Amino acid sequence: EEEEEEQEPTYDVAATDNSNNTTATSALQGLMRRLGGTALEELLPSGSQGSNQESRSRIKTLLQGLKSDDESQQMECILELCDLLSMATEESLAGFSVDSFVPAIVNLLNMEHNPDMMLLACRALSHMMEALPGTSATIAHSGAVASLCAKLLSIEYIDLAEQSLQALEKISQEHPASVLRAGGLMAVLSYLDFFSTGVQRTAVSTAANICKQVPSECFDMVVDSLPMVTNLLQYSDQKVVENACLCITRLIDNFTDVESKLEQIATDGLVSQIVRLISFANTSSSLIGVPTYNNLVRALATLCQGAPRVSLSLLQEGFAATLLNVIKGTNASAGDATMMRSPQQSYELLSLVNELLPPLPTEISTIMSSSNSRTAILRDRIKKIRKQSDDPSGEKNVTATNEVDPREKMLTENPELLVDIGQSLFGVLVDMFTSTVNPIVRYKCLSAITKILYFSTTEMLRILLKTFAFSGFLA
């Protein structure tokens, strides 16, 4: 007896009691299911096989009931299916054929005369995507998306509309283009004010998912919904506002190089709303966090780069002074603000300043970006620039191979805009440069400073540097 007590417990079937045998067998069954799934069913004990057979039989019976012509039987089966899926795992759904069940459920979803049936069918789809994550592709291509959008647009039954929205939100995570093509963006935003705040957040989150992938042929569908998205930027709920901002930034990212589409996006007061959010970002009334703030500044810079008319419109509305207040915040100097601001925020703001201005000529940009033989490159490039500057007209020459950037034409035709930029931002840029050691931020500061100096006329420079100790900065 003492020897038996000293021995370590084992799980040998021949040496353990029935309780230990049951525990070991259950653990082994779970491991085998994880490793081999249904392919190892024949290796499991007969009791487990019987349980699986019972489950398969039940699932088969439910499918037959859903396909029957008796609505009472369909109602009973869809209700039982919802209960099964709400508590199911992938293991308990062995033998569940998504390809067979989804068409049957979509058929019930289209029973316009039976709202309870439609509600349960919609709920079953949502539970199915939670229990079996890979099923959203089947549902997206089954015609269910169009039906779900129709339920939102009719909004005859508020419970059904909310459940449809939840299903669309799950589908949009992996198949945004399918939801967009079915009119999903308009559907989720059309009757937003009818829903509670929680449901509104789900709706705008779905819209943000849809804007993640916008095919060119679907652009008009997005533009039609853009005024509603712009209106969301004025809501009082932070989650709604931030998801609306995500819609806009993702949409701009989809069409970075298409000027005509960027100009369409920038209509209906969108740019002014973005400027308002950026301006109040450092105040107590701000409704956006730092990541959203950075994304909005980056989106505005993308608009200025890809659609020069946006840059012109901003500068004509006094955006240089606004940007000065944004950079300085509540601090007395830009240097103090830079020290309190993250390098990422400073980088995004400086990128915006740079995109308001035309790009530098290749000769100068090469000097600034090159790290090898900089002195020799500088000497050669300056000679070329001096030769170009000998033009009697006093205008900057542009080689025939380089097309003049529209922003340069804009500043040439409206020199007062460049004066405004210089007076508002030149000193701030110098302060930011001297107050940081981050090389990327310093490079962006120098780039903007160089642009202001390069594109200014002699008289502009005389006025700009009259009271500024620029020689000390250069030294």
pLDDT tens sequence across 248-299: 999 999 999 899 999 999 987 899 999 999 988 766 667 899 899 999 999 9
Band of pLDDT at residue 45, cut at 50, 70 and 90: very low
- 145 and 184 Cβ atoms separated by less than 8 Å: yes
Q: What is the DSSP string of 288-328?
A: --HHHHHHHHHHHHHHHHH-HHHHHHHHHTTHHHHHHHHHH
Condensed to tens digits (0 to 9), the pLDDT of residues 385-430 reads 555 544 544 444 443 345 788 999 999 999 999 999 999 999 999 9
8 A C-beta contact, residue 339 and residue 435? yes
**Backbone phi, psi, residue 156, to 5°:** -75, -35
242 compared with 327, residue with greater pLDDT: 242
DSSP string, 130-189: HHSGGGHHHHHTTTHHHHHHHHHHH-SSHHHHHHHHHHHHHHHHH-HHHHHHTTHHHHHH
> pLDDT tens digits, residue range 102-132?
999 999 999 999 999 999 999 999 999 998 8
Q: What is the largest CA-CA distance in the chain?
A: 114
Query: Residues 52-70: pLDDT tens digits?
Result: 677 788 888 999 999 999 9
Provide CB contacts within 8 A for 50, sequence distance 6+. none
Chain mean pLDDT for the chain: 82
344-362: per-residue pLDDT in tens?
Answer: 999 999 999 999 999 988 8
CA atoms within 13 Å, Cβ hemisphere of 465: 16
Q: Is pLDDT of 11 > 50?
A: no
**Whole-number pLDDT of residue 55:** 75
Provide the pLDDT for residue 23: 42
Cβ-Cβ contacts under 8 Å for 240 (sequence gap 6 or more): 197, 200, 201, 204, 232
Contact 162, 200 (CB under 8 A): no
Structure tokens at 239: 């989650």
Output the six-digit token pair for 463. 């006025």
**Predicted TM-score (pTM) of this structure:** 0.79
Calpha distance 432→425 (Å, rounded): 10
pLDDT (tens digit per residue) in 139-183: 999 989 999 999 999 888 999 999 999 999 999 999 999 999 999
Distance CA 196, CA 205 (A): 14
